[in-house]
């Protein structure tokens, strides 16, 4: 049977037992403005629709719904190790246990997946600009027992550099913490005093500084592709996509 879910599978040299996908908005039952595969339970969508959507995802990936490590994301740097009870307040998760799914919800913020080349640990991070600037990616890198040179990362669908207009306070915050952060900001074609930010570039800079040079992805824009992706910047009230990673036995 052909799947109705439009899943993105990272193009990166992960070990065979590392599996990862990023959902799009296609294949669910949610009604406008959340149509259709909304997986976020915090965006005022019908809870029954969210439950059906999460069930479809679980069925597609051959998991029980309890395998998903959903988080209550707050744009911070807290990391939890799965399995954990309930829905913890955190913006990153990691696990060494097969069958535990690290799950991040986004609609413009940057989802980042991690694994080591030996296939013994995986992790996922929610990196909006605040969490990225505060060090959420560095927290994830520090959680790995493998040397940083053995860690690889994948940057999932996020707001692209041609769409992410920010105020000077965002640029100033990054420049205060990164020597090369100014390279990720441009004044071209925006309101006076504002900047276009490249969150993919900023993430690569932070990862490189943390010792992770093998970084893949970073070529999808959630704002520009309204058919495939949710975008809070574009639509305001909208759904959430999930970016997931796990280890197989």
- The domain that holds 22 is classified in CATH as 3.60.140.10
Task: Tell me if 180 is assigned to some domain.
Answer: no
Residue among 44, 48, 49 nearest 31 (CA): 49
**Tokens describing residue 7:** 């899943």
**Do the domain assignments include residue 13?**
no
* pLDDT at res. 2: 39
- Identify the pLDDT of residue 47: 98
What pLDDT, in 10s, does the model give residues 84-122? 999 999 999 999 999 999 999 999 999 999 999 999 999
Tokens of 202: 């900023």
Q: Report, as ranges of residue numbers, the positions in the chain whose pLDDT lies below 50.
A: 1-2
- State residue 179's pLDDT score: 80
Count of other CB atoms within 10 angstroms of residue 92: 26
Query: What is the radius of gyration, based on Cα positions, of the chain?
Result: 17
Is residue 63 a part of any domain in this protein?
A: yes
**Is 163 inside any structural domain?**
no
In a domain, 85, yes or no: yes
Give domain status of residue 177, yes or no.
no
> How many domains does the chain fold into?
1
User: CB–CB of 80/71 below 8 Å?
Assistant: yes
**C-beta of residue 65 within 8 angstroms of C-beta of residue 75:** no
Q: Are 87 and 70 in contact (CB under 8 A)?
A: yes
Range of the domain at 64: 18-156+212-247
pLDDT at residue 1 in the model? 33
Cα–Cα distances (Å) from 171 to 81, 119, 179, in that order, read 32, 36, 12
User: Could you identify the residue written with the tokens 């009230």?
Assistant: 237
């Amino acid at each position: 049977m052909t799947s109705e879910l439009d899943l993105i599978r990272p193009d990166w040299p992960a070990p065979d037992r590392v599996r990862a996908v990023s959902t799009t908005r296609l294949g669910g039952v949610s009604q406008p403005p959340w149509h259709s595969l909304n997986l976020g339970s915090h965006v005022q969508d019908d809870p029954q629709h969210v439950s059906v959507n999460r069930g479809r995802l679980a069925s597609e990936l051959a998991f029980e719904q309890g395998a998903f490590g959903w988080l209550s994301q707050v744009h911070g740097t807290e990391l939890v190790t799965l399995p954990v009870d309930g829905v913890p307040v955190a913006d990153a998760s990691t696990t060494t246990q097969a069958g535990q799914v690290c799950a991040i919800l986004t609609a413009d913020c940057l989802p980042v997946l991690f694994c080591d080349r030996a296939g013994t640990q995986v992790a996922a991070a929610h990196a909006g600009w605040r969490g990225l600037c505060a060090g959420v990616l560095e927290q994830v890198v520090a959680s790995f027992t493998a040397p940083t040179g053995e860690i690889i990362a994948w940057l999932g669908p996020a707001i692209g550099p041609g769409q992410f207009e920010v105020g000077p306070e965002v640029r100033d915050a990054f420049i205060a913490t990164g020597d090369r952060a100014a390279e990720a900001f441009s004044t071209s074609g925006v309101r006076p005093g504002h900047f276009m930010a490249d969150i993919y570039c900023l993430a690569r800079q932070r990862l490189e500084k943390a010792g992770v040079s093998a970084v893949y992805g970073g070529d999808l824009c959630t704002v520009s592709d309204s058919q495939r992706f949710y975008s809070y910047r574009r639509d305001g009230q909208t759904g959430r996509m999930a970016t997931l990673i796990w280890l197989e036995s």
